[in-house]
Amino acid sequence: NRLKNGLSKTKDGFINKVTSLFSTHGKIDDELFEELEEILIQADVGINTAMELIEGLEERVEEDELKEPEELTEVFKEELSALLKEEDGQLDLKAGQNIIIVVGVNGAGKTTTIAKIARRFKEDGKKVLMAAADTFRAAAIDQLKVWGDRLGINVIAQSEGSDAAAVAFDAVQAARARDIDLLIVDTAGRLHTQKNLMEELKKVKRVIEREAGDFNIQVLLVLDATTGQNAMSQAKLFNEAVHVDGIALTKLDGTAKGGIVIGIKNELGIPIKLIGVGEAAEDLQDFNAKKFIEALFI
């Protein structure tokens, strides 16, 4: 099971610590909740979410008159599930023509994610087009073209250094002219010039909205889970700039801090649509809260 394998570090470094705390701690007391808090924070659940989870547990202890710490395992699982419930997010297209603008810092896994989405919808019989609006790096343009060749999908591109918004403009015109079902727009992710980057992304989005008023437009943010709280602050910045509709959280296989899945949902309210649990194509999966929890607890 790829999901289970991909989440094994989080299972060992987070969930198993919690369940072993519950099975070894003598009684339900303040000390137990303090230790739990520490584990939650270490797993990148985020402080607010950690507090919420603990308060939830304390309430359940009272309501259900729990005496044995072991009983908390099931309750903890239920509380986690409750936090993730609405997040059972699949990346869906709406009726009509769609545009997915993919944003995120370089190295997070944007290209991999784009290729995966492109392949999926092509296999579903959709007419797909890609746009190389990361005009900052020649390599990014080339990489997208390589994927385009491999998947048999056209790529709208200009030369390195051209205006990203102009590429987006061309791409929307092409999508219209060719009656495309899904246009996927790659964007720049250089981090050292964050302010300019956000301005550029805003402009790209503005042009797309203006030119493609009748298309369904969504912004997908790709985040590297191994960057922990950094990923959280990136999410806030991108969300402020371009309003993020969904998140692809990659590289969960590389971290024990998978608690970030819960933190993102709870603190930012942005649905997680895809998770990456390895480098193979099958490892980028639709996020399913129930399967996610099961993989961690079984």
Annotation: binding site for GTP: 104-111, 186-190, 250-253
> How near is the Cβ of 125 to ligand GDP at its closest, in Å?
25
264 CB contacts (<8 Å, ≥6 apart)? 223, 231, 232, 235, 247, 249, 270, 272
> How near is the Cβ of 33 to ligand GDP at its closest, in Å?
33
Q: Which of 228, 218, 222, 232 is nearest to 284 (CA)?
A: 222
Give the count of beta carbons closer than 10 Å to the beta carbon of residue 243.
Answer: 11
> How near is the Cβ of 287 to ligand GDP at its closest, in Å?
12
Which of residues 110, 257, 265, 273 is near ligand GDP by CB under 6 A?
110
> How near is the Cβ of 96 to ligand GDP at its closest, in Å?
28
Answer positive or negative: Cα dihedral of 128, 244, 85, 231. positive
Contact between 260 and 9 (Cβ < 8 Å): no
Q: Which of 42, 45, 19 is nearest to 265 (CA)?
A: 45
Examine residue 136 and tell whether it contacts ligand GDP (CB under 6 A).
no
Taking the least distance from each CB to ligand GDP, the nearer of 97 and 187 is: 187
Examine residue 142 and tell whether it contacts ligand GDP (CB under 6 A).
no
- Helix or strand run (H / E) with residue 103: strand 98-103
Examine residue 112 and tell whether it contacts ligand GDP (CB under 6 A).
yes
Per CB under 6 A, contacts with ligand GDP among 42-61 are none
Which of residues 254, 268, 286, 297 is near ligand GDP by CB under 6 A?
254
Which of residues 132, 217, 283, 295 is near ligand GDP by CB under 6 A?
283
Of the listed pieces 22-30, 46-54, 106-114, 125-133, which binds ligand GDP according to CB under 6 A? 106-114
Taking the least distance from each CB to ligand GDP, the nearer of 17 and 116 is: 116
Radius of gyration of the chain (CA): 21
Which of residues 8, 16, 73, 106 is near ligand GDP by CB under 6 A?
106
| 3-state SS string for 153-179 | CEEECCCCCCCHHHHHHHHHHHHHHCC
Examine residue 11 and tell whether it contacts ligand GDP (CB under 6 A).
no
Which of residues 217, 266, 276, 285 is near ligand GDP by CB under 6 A?
276
DSSP assignment of 266-290 equals III-PPEEEEE-SSSGGGEEE--HH
Which of residues 10, 97, 111, 239 is near ligand GDP by CB under 6 A?
111
The whole-angstrom separation of Cα 127 and Cα 214 is 17
Helix (H/G/I), strand (E/B), else coil: 61: helix
Examine residue 109 and tell whether it contacts ligand GDP (CB under 6 A).
yes
Summarize as ranges the residues that interact with ligand GDP (CB under 6 A).
104, 106-112, 189, 250-251, 253-254, 276-279, 283
